[in-house]
Chains A and B, each alone.
Chain A
Amino acid sequence: MNQLNEAVKALHEIDLESGKRRKNTDIHPLSILLVTICYIGVTASFGNYDMPKLFSMIIFLIAGGILYDISLKNSFRRLKYILLFPLFLGAANLVLDRQILWYLGKIPITSGMVSMVTLFIKGVFMVYATYFMIIRIGIEGLCLAMRAIHVPGILITQITLSYRYIIVLLREMERMWTSYHMRAPGQKGIQIKAWGSFLGLLFLRSMERADNIYHSMLLRGYQENVGIPAAKGKYSFGKSAAYVLFWVMIFACLRKVPLFYLLGEKMAGR
């Protein structure tokens, strides 16, 4: 069950990378969260046919990739399945919106096609922005950011535990899958008649393990807060505020100015 193993490994790697990045930055996770929310909001606000302006939002991702040394190859490897979802977002537009806009050779380009591609790009940008945020601040950073804006502790606990539960669930699934296939060699997947008991047992076992992990957390002083370094003094208020201001201004400019369109015009000498 290589894919499950890969998924667990990827989650651990993300934890590790985010931990290192969080250690080496003095920008508060809340600033990174705010900038990401702002980016997602601005990206979502573009119209369905506003592709030229939308493209300029890639600047944030390119800058993030370069500045924070985030490997695009690794990102794609981890996000490849999630990136399929935006593809389905605008699929219905292909059928519903068939007005022909222009011809590419002999192929008619409909407004449905344009809006589908726009929605796909929007989705990809949003997924990447969220991933960039997680890889920079991690789940602990996200919780710290939420604590800073006084999100109720119980909600933060739920998020932390759900995240840990995903790992437990994947590990249990891998064990059970391996055990099943050791005794059913040559069989592809799991027989339908075994799915009921397989899933039932999977949830029972992973709940038991999740329970143990929760107990282990409780025994080590966990009380609706997360075991992360105190934010006080570690982060620079000035840098954090400047980071938010800088990107909000950039997003505002990119929202107004069709950068790539203007560049294209310039290059075409118009």
Chain B
Amino acid sequence: MDTMEKGKTIILADNLSFAYDHKYSALEHLSFQIERGETIGIIGANGAGKSTLLKILVGLLEDYQGRLEIDGLTVEKKTLKEIRKKVGYVFQDSESQLFLSTVYEDVAFGPRNYGYPEETVEEKVLSALRLVHMEEHRDKQIYRLSGGQKKMVAIATVLSMEPEVILFDEPSTALDPRNRRNLVGVLNDMSCTKIIASHDMDFIKSTCDRVFLLADKTIRKIGTAGEIVMNSRLLEESGL
């Protein structure tokens, strides 16, 4: 991740639209570019399409219209395996992300599926846990962890696969101030490209370089975090 060439476009969307069941439009005519190593915030009211956009980016929702490329690969069925190696997704509900018995087993799930030898798996797991300050919890049972710890482990499950882009869906939800600060620190320490969908304006301001404001199913404004988050009139008009 550290060796990544900063500044090169990693995500390209051109005239991207999506409708659930081909009937219920969720996103219309989105066009944007994201550079390697950037941290992008996606904000918008409930139902604005933040989660939908993240799911399209990782190929969980197909049948979109327009052009969508990640690191030069068009997001489509035949490239999904490659895309998912490059893009990690941290769910809003960490419980949905963690399904094995211990922290170690869960974080090791991804690298094992990609066929790494057990020694490499261990290295990747420990390095991911170190990044989120959870290495001393490696043998703990998942159901014994607190909400904040579960969030950190959920992030480690993605980090262990060393993706080039990580998508976060409402990462600060249900975290207390200390865990939230901890999460901000962890995110700011990561050098990969990050896309964070959130309602938490302070969180977005503390972590993101640029912000996409979603309203009326499209991108209403793109700007720096300071520009958008401080513009209370714009936020209010966009239902925030």
- The answer on a CB contact under 8 Å between A213 and B99 is yes
Question: Which of B102-110, B178-186, B193-201 lies on the face that meets chain A?
Answer: B102-110
Other than the given A219-B88, A225-B113, 10 more pairs (CB < 8 A) read A15-B100, A16-B102, A212-B97, A219-B60, A219-B89, A221-B85, A221-B110, A221-B113, A221-B114, A223-B81
- The answer on a CB contact under 8 Å between A220 and B109 is yes
User: With A220-B157, A230-B117 in contact, do A215 and B109 touch (Cβ < 8 Å)?
Assistant: no
Which residues of A approach B to under 8 Å, CB–CB? 8-9, 12-13, 15-16, 19, 164, 167, 171, 209, 212-213, 215-223, 225, 227-230, 234
From A9, A12, A227, contact of B109 by CB (8 A): A227
- The answer on a CB contact under 8 Å between B60 and A215 is yes
Which residues of B approach A to under 8 Å, CB–CB? 58, 60, 81, 84-85, 88-89, 91, 93, 95-97, 99-102, 105, 108-110, 112-115, 117-118, 121, 141-143, 157-158, 161
CA distance A228 to B121 in the complex (A): 11
Contact partners of B141 in chain A: CB under 8 A: 12-13, 16
Contact partners of B158 in chain A: CB under 8 A: 220
CA distance A29 to B157 in the complex (A): 26
Contact partners of A13 in chain B: CB under 8 A: 141
From B110, B115, B117, contact of A220 by CB (8 A): B110
* Residue from A12, A16, A221, A225 whose CB has the most chain B CB atoms within 10 Å: A221
Main secondary structure on A side of the interface with B: helix
CA distance A68 to B231 in the complex (A): 65
- Can you report 26 residue pairs joining A to B where beta carbons are below 8 Å apart? A12-B101, A13-B141, A15-B100, A16-B101, A19-B101, A167-B99, A209-B95, A212-B93, A215-B60, A215-B96, A216-B96, A216-B99, A217-B99, A218-B60, A219-B84, A220-B109, A220-B113, A221-B81, A221-B84, A221-B85, A221-B110, A223-B81, A227-B100, A227-B109, A229-B118, A230-B117
With CB as the reference atom, state the residue of chain A lying closest to B87.
A219
**Sorted from nearest, which 9 A-B pairs have the closest CB atoms?**
A221-B113, A15-B101, A212-B96, A220-B110, A227-B109, A227-B112, A16-B101, A216-B97, A221-B114
